[in-house]
Structure 1
Amino acid sequence: MNIFESTAAWFTAEGAWAGAGGIIQRTTEHLGYSALVLLIAALIAFPLGLLVGHTGKGENLVVALTGALRALPTLGLLTLFALWLGLGLTAPIAALVILAISPLLAGVYAGIAAVDPITVDAARAQGMTEWQILSRVEIPLALPLIFGGIRNAALQVIATVTIVAYINLGGLGRFLIDGLAVRDYSRMVGAVLLVAALALLVDLLLAGLQRLTTPAGTS
């Protein structure tokens, strides 16, 4: 039996999907970790990106910060935080939040900064407050780039959340770690396929949401 046949057999084995430790449970855990990471990262990145994009202050710092965060090794951060904070959910969430902040911050900042200054000046000349300009003019026009950052972050997080299994947590990475321990390569290939399929599905959902929420003529 080759690897493709054994992987198909793993997917169709009795109890593979339902029950404790099944594919459905691990996928739900994976999505839960990913959603939590993206939410925390968004709470940090969105206000900072909106502020810098609107005011133009701190642009060089944001560019340097996003570049530096991209260069950080997530597994190294996980190990560092695990040694510092101990084994548990806090360490991997902290490491993954740092990973997610970079594309979210870059998308929000770039989207707001790319809005035509003439449009902003026209809104200001009509008597709009700075908050009204940001919420009614800049954010709607910046949505394509903002969503680009969200989609990029979601893909990175979903792909990287597998590392939480490295410190004995759940998610689809559990199949990779457990499969590696017993040289069950069909289980490992199955895990890779599941993560890829989940990432593509989430990206398609976000793309659909982007089309629904982006004003006509701004995409």
Structure 2
Amino acid sequence: MNVLNFIHAFFSDSSHWQGYDGIPTRVTEHIQYSLEALALAAVIGLPVGLVTGHYGRGGNALALIATAGRALPTFGLLVLVVTWLGFGIEIVMIPLVVLAVPPILVTTYEAMRSVDPSPVDAARGMGMQEPRILFQVELPVALPLILGGLRSAAIQIVSTATIAAYVSLGGLGRYIIDGLYQKNYEKVVGGATLVAAMALATLAVFWAVGRITVSPGVRRSG
């Protein structure tokens, strides 16, 4: 059977659409893991990137953090953390957050540094306080690039959250891990297809968010 036949067989099987191992359940679990990891990474990366980018300090340190974060093998880190701390959803969050923080942190910093200094200087000349300058002058202009960093992190998380299945959790990785163990390649291909579809859906969601949140003037200048 070729890949298309595997895909058709997987999605046409009614048993894959119901129960604890059904597609709706596994997709919901995968979305939950991904959203939790993205939220945690954003809570860490966005404030640091915004503040350091606003003041123009710490760029070299952020570059080192990003390099170190990207160099860490996600699966290896998961195995190490499980060995130390045991099993659980909190354990899976650690490697996913470590994976997602660098693109959010570095892109946010670079986005803030790319803002034209003229309106920033004008705002300071008018007596605006630094928090207002950050959120009312710089952030609206930097928002497209910041969303790009969040989008990159989200896609990496969605693609990598399959590792949750290695520690007996759910998500779409369950199809891939169980399918390989059972030599059920229909299930493996179906799971991989769902992960790819979710990554494409993530792109669509961030495109829509950008259309809603980024002002038309900033989009045109970009």
Aligned to 1:130: 130
% identity of equivalent residues:
46
TM-score if structure 1 supplies the norm length? 0.97
Matched to 1:151, the amino acid is: R
Cα-Cα RMSD:
1.1
Cα drift, residue 47 of structure 1 = 0.8
Q: How does 1:56-135 map to 2 (within 5 A)?
A: 56-135=56-135
Cα drift, residue 151 of structure 1 = 0.6
Cα drift, residue 3 of structure 1 = 4.3
4+ runs deviating over 6 angstroms: none
| Bigger fraction of residues in helix | 2
SS of the aligned residue for 2:14 comes to: coil
Matched to 1:7, the amino acid is: I
Aligned to 2:168: 168
2:181 pairs with 1:210: no
Cα drift, residue 217 of structure 1 = 2.5
2:34 pairs with 1:31: no
Aligned to 1:44: 44
SS of the aligned residue for 1:127 comes to: coil
Separation of aligned partners in 2, 1:157 and 1:33: 9
Q: Deviations over 1:131-167 (max 9, x none)?
A: 0100100100000100100110110000000011011
Separation of aligned partners in 2, 1:129 and 1:45: 23
SS of the aligned residue for 2:17 comes to: coil
Gaps of 5+ in 2: none
Separation of aligned partners in 2, 1:84 and 1:95: 13
Matched to 1:105, the amino acid is: L
Q: Does structure 2 retain, via aligned residues, the 8 Å contact 1:3–1:185?
A: no
Separation of aligned partners in 2, 1:42 and 1:5: 39
